[in-house]
Chain A
Amino acid sequence: MKQHLKAGKAQRRSPVVTALKFALLPPLLSLAFAGCGNMADVQKVKKEENASPVAEGVAPSITIGKAKIEQKEVLNAIRDMELISSSSLVFNFLKSDVPVEDKYNVVNAFVFKYAETGSDFKYGTGNPALDELVLQASQTFSTDFSMGLSDLKKTEPERLSYMQALAYGVAKSGYAGFRAALSMAANMDTARNSFNFPGLSTRDISLAGPFANMVCISMVKSGKLDTSKAIEDIIKALKIEGLSAPTKSALLNLVKIVDPLAFAGLLKDPALSAETKKQVEAAANSVFKSTRIPQETKDELRKRME
């Protein structure tokens, strides 16, 4: 025991211990807050229209081991190979740090080739290209509760562009793509228990939420979404029993994108619980603060809510 007291004394005699504790701060804080920061130095998505499957100028490439894979090689693989054979090449390319425009280019070719002919056997959505995109997106984004898009943009820009490319492909797959994205968001609670790491998982919403947002925004902008059908499906998902509040809020984000006026109807829906209605009300109020939603839509919503 004396020895222990001696150890205590040694520390007591050293007033630097307090300073030492502060000295521990920088390296460890850098772990805890690795995800925070500005978003200035990241590439901007510029390409607006369908990209041609043929690359122009110098082909972007990735390196796997010693071999360098070029975009053209990936496109040729899509042209010549079955989905199951080309898949790893395609998704390795999409995960790499090539420009996002080139990723859209490859996704275009992928969806074009495999939407109908990817496999003789139909699973999930019935669209093999979409199934593969959803599978890859689920593994990567549904399990990540550690950061939002701004953090991703700062710390892992290549993963953000991977997410954008997959969202683009899912959006291009039509209404089945919307439903797959909605399903990913609606099932967020299932993953939360397994992938929520105390101290590191700082968010209640996984990246599946923003991913679904991206899919919806792209579809709505393109005028390719049946909005009334979409709202029906979102409401159906909102009524799933036992859904957590963060998951509901992620679903309500989709309502904001698809048709904010639907909030008026949701507030009167007798099938929604009082708790859910509180969330609907909060979401509807945030519509009025949003700079993304046109003023006339806000006015109309206000009118309908009165």
Chain B
Amino acid sequence: MAYKAPISKQEKKLDQTVQTMQALARNEFHGDYVSAHDVAQARDFAKQYLPAMEDMLGSLQSLRTGYGSLEKQFSSAMGKMPDWSDKAMVYAGTGVAQVFATLVSPAGFFTDAVADPKEVIVGMTKERQEFFQNMDAAHKAVVGDPQGKTPEAKKGTMQAFRESYSKAYFLANEMAGAVLEGKEALAEKKSTELGGALKELKKASRELNSSLYALNAYTDSMKAVQDRVKKLTADMALAVAGSIAAAKVIELGAKGLSSFYAATSSAGRVATAGTELALETGVAGAETTFMGSAAMGVTATAKGVKAIEQATAAASNIEKGAVAGRQLKRSTEIVKKVIDVHEIESASHSDLEQSFDMAPPSF
């Protein structure tokens, strides 16, 4: 089960304060003859600063839930890691193919049209080893490697991300606490530190995303490998049991080997196959393209990163709320305007002009 980040005291206090301010803004309290003046002043304050305080609370909450989402993605990625039996299955699949090739090779049924299975298998066995080595490397990049050459490699992207989050959330809480207590200098100091910490967090979340992407690519293609192995083994067993002519068996085996290779070569290579196919067949739909495959593969991870990115974006809205109050609303309106055809064209044309300046040389 994924680790769930706890809620801090400051966040709870800020939440209660925001609730109070909301109640004040709704005119729920009027005070008695002693406190009426103070309550009126508090109401004025609440009306003026409620959006900023809500934004601050929202950013703290998003930071925490965003962190939780990435922890969840991490747990999911770890859950997909193959155990010894999965690996054994792939190696066994290769072994079956090897035995098969050794048995039929002396029979001399090969023709020019069929590749020499021995050659294919020698390359394929090497591929399997590289596949698992690369998968292990991707796993170590996420969880850290005690034998790593650099401190970053030893730590791993997940640990680096956790540390960055702790730092950012801690500072955000300190800042919120200082705001609630009216300690201007401390809050200002913490806000400066928070700016740097959020930058680090953004970087760490992207690095974690990138390493989880690589790891998921391997574990996802692992499933494809297993499917291919099952199919390959079944095809061969069927062929042998049915006493089909040896040439036919070899042809079938070669087909299986080819698709087996395709599945295990790398997740990206399989996905790339769609790129050209899309235009070639005139069905360049979302599902058949490279980006379709790539995007689907990382959607889960991207969701976690998205939440973190939203949190950092929300944090940037704290001061916007204070400065203008309705900055976010205006941003939304601007985005709506961009839908206008001419604005899209203008932005796109600007891209083109820059491309002319920065295009690679002729050859």
Write the chain B residue with the least CB distance to A251.
Answer: B348
Tell me if A187 counts as interface (CB < 8 A to partner B). yes
Q: How far is the CA of A174 from the CA of B262 in the complex (A)?
A: 25
Binds A, one of B35-43, B84-92, B95-103: B35-43
CA distance A141 to B277 in the complex (A): 20
Q: Is A189 a contact partner of B353 (Cβ separation < 8 A)?
A: no
Given contacts A121-B262, A189-B286, contact A245 B353 (CB under 8 A): no
- Minimum CB–CB distance from B275 to chain A (whole Å) comes to 5
Within 8 A of B (CB), among A34-63: 34, 45, 47-50
Instruction: Say yes or no: A171 contacts B46, CB within 8 Å.
Output: no
Interface assignment of B187: CB less than 8 Å from any CB of chain A: yes
Contact A222 B181, CB 8 Å, known A18-B322, A134-B275? no
Chain A, 144-199, CB within 8 A of any chain B CB = 148-150, 153, 160, 164-165, 167-168, 171-172, 176, 179-180, 182-184, 186-191, 193-195, 197-199
From residue 174 to 217 of chain B, which have CB atoms closer than 8 A to chain A? 179-182, 184, 187-188, 191-192, 194-196, 198-199, 202, 213
Bound Cα distance from A142 to B196, whole angstroms: 28
Q: Select B359's contact among A167, A198, A233, beta carbons within 8 Å.
A: A167
A-side contacts of B353, CB under 8 Å: 290, 292
Tell me if B184 and A31 are in contact (CB < 8 A): no
Please name all residues of chain A whose beta carbon is closer than 8 Å to the beta carbon of B153 when the two chains form the complex.
65
Most A CB within 10 A of own CB, among B20, B202, B213, B258 = B20
22 A-B contact pairs sorted by A residue (CB < 8 Å) = A5-B42, A9-B41, A12-B44, A20-B184, A23-B191, A25-B323, A31-B315, A50-B363, A65-B149, A124-B275, A135-B271, A186-B279, A187-B286, A190-B289, A195-B295, A199-B310, A199-B314, A210-B358, A253-B348, A279-B344, A279-B345, A286-B346
Given A11-B182, A27-B194, A189-B286, verify A168-B306 contact (CB < 8 Å): no
Q: Are A17 and B351 in contact, CB atoms less than 8 angstroms apart?
A: no
User: Could you tell me if A193 and B198 are in contact, using CB atoms closer than 8 angstroms?
Assistant: no
User: Residue B349 at the A interface, CB < 8 A?
Assistant: yes
Contacts of A250 in B (CB 8 A): 348, 351
Contact call A205/B17, Cβ cutoff below 8 A: no
Q: Which of B198, B351, B358 contacts A31 (CB 8 A)?
A: B198
Q: Quick check: B341 and A245 within 8 Å, CB to CB?
A: yes
Distance in angstroms from A140 CB to nearest chain B CB is: 10
B63 to chain A, nearest CB (A): 13
Considering the complex of A and B, which 8 residue pairs feature the smallest CB-CB distances, nearest first? A27-B195, A199-B313, A21-B322, A213-B355, A168-B360, A14-B182, A24-B319, A4-B20
Shortest distance in angstroms between B10's beta carbon and chain A's nearest beta carbon? 12
Interface size on B, residues (CB 8 A): 108
If A9-B42, A164-B358 touch, whether A123 touches B196 (CB-CB below 8 Å) is no
Q: Which chain B positions have C-beta within 8 A of A149?
A: 351, 354-355, 357-358
Contact of B182 among A17, A22, A213, A222 (CB under 8 A): A17
**B184 contacts A203, CB within 8 Å?**
no
Picked from A7, A221, A237, A246, the residue with its CB within 8 Å of the CB of B284 is A237
**Residue among A27, A143, A205, A233 making CB contact with B351, cutoff 8 Å:** A205
B-binding residues in A (CB < 8 A): 1, 4-5, 7-14, 16-32, 34, 45, 47-50, 65-66, 84, 104, 120-121, 123-126, 131, 134-135, 138-139, 142-143, 148-150, 153, 160, 164-165, 167-168, 171-172, 176, 179-180, 182-184, 186-191, 193-195, 197-200, 203-205, 209-210, 213-214, 217-218, 221-224, 233, 236-237, 240, 245-246, 249-250, 252-253, 256-257, 275, 278-279, 282-283, 286, 289-290, 292
Q: Which residue of A lies closest to B261 (CB)?
A: A121
CA A219 – CA B276 in complex, angstroms? Answer: 19
A9 & B310 in contact (Cβ 8 Å cutoff): no
List 17 other contacts, CB 8 Å, given A5-B39, A148-B351: A10-B182, A14-B184, A30-B199, A65-B149, A123-B269, A124-B273, A143-B294, A172-B363, A187-B292, A199-B314, A199-B316, A204-B344, A217-B355, A221-B359, A283-B348, A286-B345, A289-B349
**Cβ-based interface call for B305 (8 A):** yes
A20 pairs with B265, CB closer than 8 A? no
B358 and A197: CB pair below 8 A?
Answer: no
Asked whether B268 is an interface residue with its Cβ less than 8 Å from the other chain, the reply is: yes
Residues of A contacting B358 in the complex (Cβ-Cβ under 8 angstroms):
45, 149, 153, 160, 164, 210, 214
Q: Is the CB of B345 within 8 A of A179?
A: no
Closest B residue to A179 using CB positions: B279
The residues of B with any CB-CB pair to A shorter than 8 Å are: 13, 16-17, 19-21, 24, 29, 38-39, 41-42, 44-46, 49, 52, 115, 123, 127, 130, 149-150, 153, 179-182, 184, 187-188, 191-192, 194-196, 198-199, 202, 213, 258, 261-262, 265, 268-279, 282, 284-286, 289-292, 294-295, 298-299, 302, 305-306, 309-310, 312-319, 321-323, 338-339, 341-342, 344-363
How far, in whole Å, are A16 and B185 apart by their CA atoms in the complex?
A: 9
Closest to B296 in A: A194
Asked if B361 and A27 sit within 8 Å, CB to CB, the answer is: no
Distance between Cα atoms of A214 and B360 in the complex (Å) = 7
CB neighbours (8 Å) of A200 from chain B are 309, 312-313
